[in-house]
Amino acid sequence: MANIKFSAFTQKVAQADVDFLVGYTGADNVRITPAALGDGIYLPLGGGTMTGTTSHGDSVYSYWGASNDLRIYHNGADSHIDNYTGNLNIVNNADDKDINFYSDDGSGGVEIYFYLDGSSSKTVFPDSKQLQFGSGGGDSFIYSDGSDTYFQANNGNIWFYQGADDSDIKFSCDDGSGGVTEYFRVDGAFTKTIFSRDIWALDNVKALFGTSSDLEIYHDGSNSYIQDTGTGNLLIDGANNVQIRSATDSAVGLSYAVGGPVYLYHAGSLKFNTTATGIEVADEVSIGTSIIHTGDTDTKISFGTDEIVLTTAGADAVTVDSSGNVGIGTAPTDKLNINTGVGTFDFKDYNLTYSTSLGIRAESGYLHLVTESANDFYISTNGFANKRFTVKSDGKIGIGTDAPTAALQVVGLVEYADNAAALLAGLTAGAFYRTGDLLKVVH
């Protein structure tokens, strides 16, 4: 077929207005009716309306923009919408309508994974659709299963970071009355974690303090503990009074007034308190074993079964036994037993019995009650040899002699000529003196 030359073209935009389409195959000129090509399979000219489907083969680009800024194509494996200038905007102008994002459902179909909800102005992820983060195949993700919401990390730590100066990270929840309230916050202005609601630790859950968990506070289901298990002391400081009280009736058991006394109470009644010079006890004092002198452990008051022992320098000085017997320097066998170091005196049934001697210290020297033979009694000073008063077993009394020969014998009276001489020598009325063999009284 010879070539046919057309001197001009007339644009037709409707298929019904076109009888034939003409072209050239490279060997022949051809003409085809539009119906043979299918309805609308052609591109309109001059801004007309596309009435048919366009088909783009692999790696065939659809370019948009003067510089091919937007490109749409499929490369045989993946589909692309590439933008090279400005923003890429995906806009749905239909009122209250959505932009939906679908993908394979893993079972041969497709399902929506998330959508931009135009009616509620929200980005919505349907139940159990996860928003995943990380290049490790879901290192962390956020999702709701329809009942609960999960923030889960499968790799590394979870960090909450607030970079705004003096701002907080706040944690709020239902307030039990139909609203929400803050439970605690990380306060950036005060650099503290502030709790607005109670903290409830269950049994055996510990509040730990210190780098090495030195302080523990917990309840084990039976008892409550404040345990200092590490470095240093357990200090309880108070600006005013420090008190330990009953949880049932707020009765004070112990109270410390800062800079003042310490008080101990029983059933709300004061029983013990410290003073500036010592202690005061309201009533009885119960001691388990002994009262020991500070820094001198062998000086003490000990308590046995119905027995009290006073010990000095490691030796029992005074003992009171269950019968009320008292022993001084010895274990008592009678109402009063006194060990003088050289002998003992025993007070029994209101009668005085003795072994060798009893020494009673005076301001100077010693006053001794001495027996050296059965039923003899002596009073001596400055040693046993100086017997000043003697009562013999036969009833004779000697003053100044330990061997009286009469019912009463006085030895050593100073002799004066008369009463005037005795007064002049310093004797006073009532004193005895002798003149020769006469016993006289100063008057």
Q: Over the stretch 223-278, which tens digit does the pLDDT of each residue have?
A: 999 999 888 899 888 888 899 988 888 899 999 988 889 999 988 889 899 988 88
Q: Are residues 247 and 347 in the same domain?
A: no
Q: Are residues 14 and 42 in the same domain?
A: yes
Q: Are residues 271 and 346 in the same domain?
A: no
Tens of pLDDT, residue by residue over 287-312, are 888 999 888 989 999 998 889 999 99
Q: Which domain holds residue 430?
A: 413-443
Helix (H) or strand (E) holding 423: helix 419-424
* Last residue within a domain, chosen from 213, 230, 247: 230
Q: Residue 366 — very low, low, confident or very high, per pLDDT cuts 50/70/90?
A: very low
Q: Residue 356 — very low, low, confident or very high, per pLDDT cuts 50/70/90?
A: low
Q: Are residues 399 and 295 in the same domain?
A: yes
Within 10 A of 41 (CB to CB), how many other CB atoms are there? 14
pLDDT of residue 193: 95
pLDDT of residue 383: 61
Q: Is the pLDDT of residue 219 over 80?
A: yes
Task: Show Cβ contacts of residue 63 under 8 Å, excluding neighbours closer than 6 positions.
Answer: 70, 71
What torsion, rounded to 10 degrees, do the Cα atoms 71, 75, 76, 77 define?
-100
pLDDT of residue 37: 61
In a domain, 194, yes or no: no
In a domain, 62, yes or no: no
Q: Are residues 294 and 402 in the same domain?
A: yes
pLDDT of residue 75: 96
CA-CA-CA-CA torsion sign (315, 320, 322, 323): positive
Residue 311: closest CA among 288, 286, 294, 328: 328
In a domain, 223, yes or no: yes
Across 62-66, 155-159, 369-373, 425-429, least confident range: 369-373
What the block records as the tokens of 316 is: 């029992």
Q: Are residues 327 and 401 in the same domain?
A: yes
User: Does residue 238 contact residue 228 with C-beta atoms inside 8 Å?
Assistant: no
In a domain, 354, yes or no: yes
Q: Cα separation of 185 and 168, whole Å?
A: 7
pLDDT of residue 364: 44
- DSSP, collapsed to helix, strand or coil, labels residue 37 as helix
pLDDT of residue 46: 63
In a domain, 189, yes or no: no
What the block records as the tokens of 96 is: 């209250």
| Residues, the chain | 443
* Last residue within a domain, chosen from 284, 299, 319: 284
Q: Are residues 275 and 296 in the same domain?
A: no
In a domain, 4, yes or no: yes
Helix (H) or strand (E) holding 328: strand 326-328
User: Does residue 313 contact residue 304 with C-beta atoms inside 8 Å?
Assistant: no
Q: Are residues 393 and 341 in the same domain?
A: yes
Helix (H) or strand (E) holding 152: strand 149-153
Long-range contacts of 311-317 (CB under 8 A, 24+ apart): none
> How many domains is the chain built from?
5
Q: Are residues 401 and 294 in the same domain?
A: yes
pTM of the model: 0.55
Q: Are residues 396 and 418 in the same domain?
A: no
pLDDT of residue 117: 96
In a domain, 304, yes or no: yes
Q: Is 363 left (phi over 0), alpha (psi -120 to 50) or beta?
A: alpha
Q: Which of 13-27, 30-44, 75-89 has the highest mean pLDDT?
A: 75-89
pLDDT of residue 190: 94
Strands 326-328 and 336-339: parallel
Strand partners, 244: 254
Helix (H) or strand (E) holding 35: helix 34-37
Q: Are residues 212 and 275 in the same domain?
A: no
pLDDT of residue 379: 76
Q: Is the pLDDT of residue 178 over 70?
A: yes
Q: Are residues 269 and 296 in the same domain?
A: no
In a domain, 103, yes or no: no
Q: Is the pLDDT of residue 90 over 90?
A: yes
Q: Is the pLDDT of residue 151 over 50?
A: yes
